[in-house]
Amino acid sequence: MRPLSSRERKLIAVLVLVLAASLVLTLMIGPIVSGFTERAARRDALVQTFHANELRIGAVGALQAEAERQVGEMRTLFIAAPDAEDAGETLRERVEAAAQEAGGDVKASEAMPTEEGWARAAIDTRMSHDQLAALLARLNALKPALAVESVTVIADDALTNTKSDLLDVRIEATAPFVPAR
């Protein structure tokens, strides 16, 4: 192997110097610079989160008003009562009033126990066919809505008198309820 000329030695020295400088940049300064960029990106993300949270905090009043509106609207869809017994009584009164408005002779009515969140009532009445149709139409139009679970119709008078239009009717109805404030 021949000895290197002075120019070749200078080139090798410059190459070693460039290699050492790039190694220092890569191993020591690179992580410091990347740390700055990562922290800057985290700061930007935190600023965006902060602004989004400010918007949410600003919207709390509107969200509260909307929630109160929805609660009020829900109370129009359900019977509002302190407990299931009172809800059953309210339902019984509504069904009994509808039967009386339809012209039926109410013989008995009762609030019955049922599962949580529901009120249940039954009514026994004597009425004509037309009155029964009117009662069912009234029950269908009541607000808050109720579900008629069963309708039992007995026409005993028709056996002895074919012209009799009187029916003994038992209606059982349920409706959802929410606890009153």
* CA-CA-CA-CA torsion sign (68, 73, 76, 82): negative
Could you read off the pLDDT of 93-148 as tens digits, one per residue?
999 999 999 999 999 999 988 888 889 999 999 999 999 999 999 999 888 889 99
Least confident of 122-126, 147-151, 154-158: 154-158
Average pLDDT over every residue of 75-83: 81
Pairing of strands 166-179, 79-81: parallel
Q: How far apart are CA 179 and CA 181, in angstroms?
A: 6
Note whether 170 and 114 are within 8 A (CB).
no
Note whether 155 and 167 are within 8 A (CB).
yes
Average pLDDT over every residue of 32-42: 90
Question: Please, which pLDDT band fits residue 181 given cuts at 50, 70 and 90?
Answer: low
* Residue 44 backbone phi and psi in degrees, to 5: -60, -45
Q: Is the pLDDT of residue 21 over 70?
A: yes
Q: Locate the domains of the chain by residue range.
A: 6-58, 81-179
Helix (H) / strand (E) containing 84: helix 84-101
Question: Please, which pLDDT band fits residue 173 given cuts at 50, 70 and 90?
Answer: very high
Note whether 92 and 110 are within 8 A (CB).
yes
CATH code of the domain made up of 81-179: 3.30.70.60
